[in-house]
Amino acid sequence: MKLNGTLMRWLAGLALLFAVAAQAEKDKPQTAAQPRKESVCAGVLSAMDEKENTVTVKWLMFKKTFNLAKDCTLVVAHKSQPKFADLRLEEHVEVRYQDVDGVAVAHRVAQTEPTLVGFVEAVDKKARTITVK
């Protein structure tokens, strides 16, 4: 099947237009830094390294290590000015972080209070226990 000359010129022009548009997008000057998307990771604090300024959180079968930003906010219950040493291993934490060039940088680490969800099955006043299932 032969294409006539007009159709060939139209297709060539269209290809040239796409090539110019792609090059213009590539050569576009970088504007002010785009705000990075903040993500949240909730799990159990499994490792801390104050020297390296990192924390590792595990959830299900996964682990993720976070570098703490210089301005990282720490939140620990009953502490008004918590320090790195106030975080406790094996406690639940929520980490707010951003991916900076493939590195997870934490801006907020909050140790959360443990929560138990279930149904009260029995209350033993003498032993002062509650059975939850």
What pLDDT tens digit does each residue of the chain (133 aa) get? 555 667 667 777 767 667 767 676 666 665 555 567 899 999 999 999 999 999 999 998 999 999 999 999 999 988 889 999 999 999 999 999 999 988 999 999 999 877 778 899 999 999 999 998 8
Q: Whole-prediction pTM value?
A: 0.61
Nearest to 98 by CA among 28, 25, 40: 40
25 burial via Cβ count (<10 Å: 0-12, 13-18, 19+) = exposed
Q: How far apart are CA 123 and CA 130, in angstroms?
A: 5
Residue 75 is predicted with a pLDDT of 94
Residue 133 is predicted with a pLDDT of 87
Count Cβ atoms below 10 Å from residue 94 Cβ, excluding itself: 15
Residue 25 is predicted with a pLDDT of 64
3-state secondary structure of 71: strand
Residue 26 is predicted with a pLDDT of 62
Rg from Cα positions in the chain:
27
Domains along the sequence of the chain with CATH = 38-111 (2.40.50.320)
Residue given tokens 């972080």 in the structure block: 97
Buried-exposed string 96-106: b where 16+ CB fall within 10 A, e elsewhere: bbeeeeeebbb
Residue 28 is predicted with a pLDDT of 60
